[in-house]
Amino acid sequence: MPDAISVINVTKRFGSLTAVNSISFSVKKGEIFGFLGPNGAGKTTTTRMLTGVLKPDFGDVQILGHSMVSAPLLAKQKFGVVPETSNAYPDLTAWQNLMFMGELYGLGSEHAKERTLYLLQIFDLYEHAQKKVQSFSKGMKQRLILAMALIHEPELIFLDEPTSGLDVSSARMILSMLREMNSRGVTIFLTTHNMDEANTLCHRVGIIRSGNLIAIDSPEKLKDTLDKIHQIEVSFNRDIPEEMLRNLPGITTFSRFGDKWKLSAQDKDLAIRSLVALSEHEGMSIISLNTLAPTLDDVFLRLTGGEK
């Protein structure tokens, strides 16, 4: 089974600036892939090369088996795009925008009408079908853009900051649509600054910095490889002296914060087992125990140089 996206040694230069430097990666079919990076890292340039808006100077992009360099029209037929900046036509109605997209993707008139009607209904825009887009709120525009990207039932969809600046209800609606689409096998390539979104939605994430892909893995594995020292927060049902924790296997350092102890451990598993054994041995019970794993934010900041 071919990958949904294969990026092969892709390079893009603007004058003397190398915006993207020979990056290679692939996105599997049915995957939600998050593409992260600070501003100016090459995210948008990469996404534009993947969607055929820019041509790479070197390398190739394969979309579901079609080369974006040698067969761009076949490749573009396979995906939908939700760009960062809303770009529906403000002087057309929602209905006209969707029908226009249907025509550009080669849908027959009746099929385009059916899809338009269906998408207007599921994105809660049916009541506004005949209104010009210039009167829409940001949330409505973003839902329309997503609907436009789905008009031809693509197998792959590119989204750039799909929930940026949206109200909670529109953001939730879009995220739930993405999950639902993915459960039906649609591959999703998501460019985002929202680490929570990437963490909860993506099967894998790639992080780009200065035009180079510096990490690619699942969010949990990336977090796991970031820091070998884990933080654990524990509280017992009674006060205990420091000495009890001093020689516990697996625990490196400890300090007290109110009624809790904050411990650091190289081996998280061994430290937790030691704490459980201690509480049993001393006849205590554990009231709370939290492992403070690094967040995807921490991973991102560490890898992109935002945190020294």
Binding site for other proteins (CB under 8 A): 48, 51-55, 73-74, 76-77, 81, 83, 85, 87-92, 96, 100-101, 103-106
Which one-letter amino acid corresponds to residue 194? N
Cβ pair 35, 58 in contact under 8 A: no
| 3-state class (DSSP) for residue 200 | helix
Q: Identify which of residues 157 and 215 has a Cβ nearer to other proteins in the complex.
A: 157
> 199-204 long-range contacts, Cβ below 8 Å, gap at least 24?
199/295, 199/296, 201/32, 201/34, 201/175, 202/32, 202/33, 202/34, 203/31, 203/32, 203/33, 204/27, 204/31, 204/33, 204/34
Q: Tell me how far, at minimum, the Cβ of 269 lies from other proteins, in Å.
A: 47
Shortest Å, Cβ 62 to other proteins: 16
**Closer CB to other proteins, residue 89 or residue 172?**
89
Pick the closer one to other proteins by CB: 107 or 271. Answer: 107
Query: Shortest gap between Cβ of 52 and other proteins (angstroms)?
Result: 6
Minimum separation from the CB atom of position 33 to other proteins (A) = 18
d(CA 213, CA 226): 16
Give the nearer residue to other proteins in terms of CB position, either 97 or 304.
Answer: 97
| Residue whose CB is less far from other proteins, 136 or 261 | 136
CB of 87 to other proteins, least distance (A): 4
- SS3 of 115-142: HHHHHHHHCCCHHHCCCEHHHCCHHHHH
Compare residues 45 and 194 and give the one whose CB is closer to other proteins. Answer: 45
CB of 60 to other proteins, least distance (A): 17
Residue type, 102: G
Under 8 Å between Cβ of 172 and 124: no
285: which 2 tokens?
A: 């019970």
CA distances from 194 to 12, 42, 147, 155 (A): 26, 17, 22, 24
Q: What does the buried/exposed string (b/e) look like for 206-244 if buried means 16 or more CB atoms within 10 Å of the residue's CB?
A: bbbbbbebebbeebeebbbebeeebbbebebeeebeeeb
- Residue among 88 and 173 whose Cβ is closer to other proteins: 88
Q: Among residues 51 and 192, whose Cβ is nearest to other proteins?
A: 51
Q: Work out how close the CB of 129 gets to other proteins at its nearest, in angstroms, rounded to a whole number.
A: 16
CB of 81 to other proteins, least distance (A): 5
299 by Cβ neighbours in 10 Å (0-12 / 13-18 / 19+) ranks as buried
